[in-house]
Amino acid sequence: EDKVVQSPLSLVVHEGDTVTLNCSYEVTNFRSLLWYKQEKKAPTFLFMLTSSGIEKKSGRLSSILDKKELFSILNITATQTGDSAVYLCAVGNQGDKIIFGKGTRLHILP
Amino acid sequence: DGGITQSPKYLFRKEGQNVTLSCEQNLNHDAMYWYRQDPGQGLRLIYYSQIVNDFQKGDIAEGYSVSREKKESFPLTVTSAQKNPTAFYLCASTTAVSTDTQYFGPGTRLTVL
């Protein structure tokens, strides 16, 4: 059965800290791995990763994929209170389905 | 403005009633999806549709039904057969070319009284 496992499930840090969120997966016919940020309602897209070892960056956020070890990390440097959210990892397979993890709830203390 | 809209934002239902959640997109996307999200849980796929007049069951389709009569619209009906329907429901769409990057609507929170 396809699955996506995120860790930790929740995390509380102080503003300015750097955090690393983890996502491991077991998915048949992997096509891509995606990261989303969900604040109150709709998840918003952050990154899509398809190739191993190529870091994607957007401001203070970055992510990398390891297809050999079947995991990805999402890094957030110099965290701000606005980074508080649930971060969702999802994996798409060749069958056009996307499997989501349970998310990591991140809370940034001022 | 292009985007996905869902209505209503909040919905209350008595046990035994069917309710229909609306999802409309004007992004000209081919594929549309319905997910359910429970507290502390990730998104679970209910139904998805890649083209008009065709749809497939996701992982938790029991107690739900959908239709795709128009490209822009993918309504979800929560039937009385769904034993635990209280949840947050999210609709998403993607282009056929970049299927994995999903754009989400604002969600509907359904509460069964």
A40-49, A91-100, B79-88: the lowest-pLDDT one: A91-100
Is residue B80 predicted with pLDDT exceeding 80? yes
Q: Are B67 and B5 in contact (CB under 8 A)?
A: no
Residue B15 clears pLDDT 90, i.e. is over it? no
- CA A106/CA A13 separation, integer angstroms: 8
Residue in chain B lying closest to A102 (CA):
B42
The pLDDT of residue A98: 85
Question: What number is the average pLDDT over the span A86-93?
Answer: 92
- B40 has a pLDDT exceeding 90: no
Residue B2's pLDDT band, with cuts at 50, 70 and 90, is low
Give burial (CB, 10 Å; 0-12/13-18/19+) of A40: exposed
Instruction: Give the closest-approach CA distance of A86 to chain B in angstroms.
Output: 10
Beta bridge partners of A74: A21, A63
Q: What is the mean pLDDT of residues B37-42?
A: 85
Q: Which residue in this structure is represented by tokens 């860790």? A: A7
Cβ contact A43–B90 (<8 Å): yes
Query: For residue B86, what pLDDT is reported?
Result: 94
Q: Give Cα separations from A61 to A23, A77, A79, B99, B110 (angstroms).
A: 15, 7, 9, 23, 33
Say if the Cβ atoms of B40 and A102 lie within 8 Å. Answer: yes
Average pLDDT for B15-25: 93
Contact B32, B51 (CB under 8 A): no
Q: Which of A30, A41, A104 to mutate to test the interface with B (most CBs of B within 10 A)?
A: A41
Q: What is the pLDDT of residues B23-33, one digit of tens each?
A: 999 999 999 99
Residues of A in contact with B42 (CB under 8 A): 4, 6, 88, 100-103
Residue B97 has pLDDT above 70, yes or no: no
Lowest mean pLDDT among A4-18, A26-40, A90-104: A90-104
Smallest Cβ–Cβ distance between A103 and the set B42, B45, B106 belongs to B42
Contact B44 A100 (CB under 8 A): yes
Is pLDDT at B22 greater than 90 in this prediction? yes
pLDDT single digits (tens) A35-73 = 999 998 889 999 999 989 999 999 999 999 999 999 999
With a cut of 70, say whether residue B108 has pLDDT above it: yes
Give the nearest partner residue to A98 out of B102, B103, B107, using CB atoms.
B102
